[in-house]
Structure 1
């Protein structure tokens, strides 16, 4: 059943740059009012100015989702501006790479606190509002790693798997209130996630960035899928399971038995796949 939001108001955490910004631009193109919540104040201001220049209403608020007080400040700011909300997109998060031998407990807890607990904090704050309104959407941004763990991303993958499960549980809980829940679990695509992430193993970082460079998926295409899922009450947003993800699953399966440490052979596989596609296009 379609549950079309009534007021066209969307809040995006981590919306100042990267995939969050791509979603903000997509919703803005459809005439939605945008609220950017981000820890990077300067970038949040810049993105908000870009949005207002397009003729849409846009606001920003500083928010670190690992800080409960910031979550409250974000909530208060949204309510002061709009007295309600239609779509909450929990996009803010951090990436940290490493095998279990490379990840200390402090890093493990930090990634869980930001990615998983931070998502919970935002949901916990806004769910009562959605229940009272009897309308709304929650979109939680996970990753393909939440369905099929990527070697060298053990703690990041664990948080994304938990977000998938959290989203499914919320969808069941909120159905009676006519509140939809969507989880996005896209394949890897170009963003600044790895360059800004905590990755102690240089070979893992280099291989992940190489894999990303060969991805056919874009932030804009995933943002478009998220928007459509919001409008049509779809649960899972992913990329093409029959092509890129299907291939990626096979590559990862080999990774577990070949080289869990570096992912180098995956990068080579992407390169081989890319060359094959280019040659095919040249023949056409």
Structure 2
């Protein structure tokens, strides 16, 4: 399968390079997401296109929403239109932040959206643009992405866990940590099926079981053999520029039904990440 990937250094793009090393990866030097027309022009003859590039600085988006919306909204919409024109399947990674985070049941793909902040609004704009393009497109919403690459919660907890005897971590936000490696595998599986004629749609994919940030942190410490004690705190005790959803649980049953892709166990994924980082106890 001839695969074109927008993104090169992010967590998911890095893992995609491991899964499909012969794919063409477009970094910022070849496809600047601040220039949607250039992104559209970069779509060439291939069997499928994956957009694994995005503005992921959630708090920074609050003060730079216009730029975030170009990157997360206009650019993927332009890619999707180009793919539709060529008859090429397009896959786009989105987020649980398109929801308002209320309640305690997993969000389904067809649930009403209601972003709490600029980042979520920018990602929702991308979803709307991708659907409006009219081609065979799939939107894969995911959450709490972690890997051995880039900046993420696992690497932050490992650093702080080595430096401190105890940590305060938010315990009233619940979701599914998702290894970037699993996301990459899901995207490639979907791309192959769509290149063979299967229709896309909007899907959810997150790790299981659902857990709080505090309990996730405790598992990181346990697997890494760190004695750091994790104390539960409410979100109100850790203010951030962007409001985080309290409920990031996602119903992933449609993805299993249509593509046979099941939720990964994030605890096993965490073990692999720690081994790669040389931090496994």
User: Structure 1-normalised TM-score?
Assistant: 0.51
Please state how far the C-alpha of 1:162 moved relative to its aligned partner. 4.2
SS in 1 for 2:62: helix
2:21 paired with 1:9: no
Deviation readout 1:157-212 (Å, 9 max, x if unpaired): 532354246425633x355x4x12213322342442359xxxxxx9xxx8789xxx
Verify: 1:35 aligned to 2:29, yes or no.
no
* 1:36-115 superposed matches below 5 A: 36-39=25-28, 61-66=29-34, 68=35, 71-79=36-44, 82=45, 86-97=48-59, 108-114=62-68
1:27–1:207 Cα change, 3 Å: farther
Secondary structure in 2 matching 1:62: coil
What secondary structure, in the 3-state scheme, does the structure 1 residue paired with 2:76 have?
A: helix
Match of 2:81 in 1: 128
Q: In structure 2, what is the Cα distance between the partners aligned to 1:87 and 1:135?
A: 7
Q: Secondary structure at the match of 2:67?
A: helix
CA distance, structure 1, for counterparts of residue 117 and residue 16 of structure 2: 22
Q: How does 1:238-249 map to 2 (within 5 A)?
A: 238-240=205-207, 243-244=209-210, 247-248=211-212
What are the superposed Cα offsets for residues 68-115 of structure 1, whole Å, 9 maximum, x if unpaired?
A: 2xx444544554xx4x56213142324143xxxxx7xxx63425513x
In structure 2, do the counterparts of structure 1 residues 76 and 134 end up closer, same or farther at CA, with 3 Å as the change threshold? closer
Residue aligning to 1:192: 150
SS in 2 for 1:64: coil
| 1:186–1:216 CA distance, 2 compared to 1 (3 A) | closer
Structure 1 runs not aligned, ≥5 long: 1-6, 40-60, 98-102, 196-201, 210-214, 267-273, 279-284
1:94 and 1:123, CA in 2 relative to 1: closer, same or farther beyond 3 A? closer
In structure 2, the residue matched to 1:138 is: 91
Q: Give the CA deviation at 1:236.
A: 1.8
| The structure with more strand, counted as a fraction of residues | 2
Partner of 1:184: helix, strand, or coil? strand
Specify the alignment match of 1:18 in structure 2: 11
* Equivalence for 2:202: 235
Structure with the largest fraction of helix:
1
Q: Greater relative contact order: 1 or 2 (C-alpha under 8 angstroms, separation 6 or more)? A: 2
What is the aligned length?
192
Deviation of 1:22 (Å):
0.8
CA distance in 2, matches of 1:85, 1:72: 21
Deviation of the 1:220 alpha carbon: 0.7
The CA deviation string for residues 25-57 of structure 1, in whole angstroms up to 9 with x for no partner, is: 2233xxxx5222223xxxxxxxxxxxxxxxxxx
In the TM superposition, 1:197-212 aligns within 5 A as none
Residue of structure 1 equivalent to 2:220: none
Residues of 2 paired with 1:17 and 1:135: CA distance? Answer: 23
Note the C-alpha offset of 1:249.
Answer: 8.6
Larger displacement relative to structure 2 (160-169 or 215-224)? 160-169
Q: CA RMSD in A?
A: 4.4
Q: SS of 1:129's equivalent? A: helix
Measured in 1, the distance between the counterparts of 2:39 and 2:118 equals 27
Q: Secondary structure at the match of 2:4?
A: strand
1:65 is paired with a residue of what secondary structure?
coil
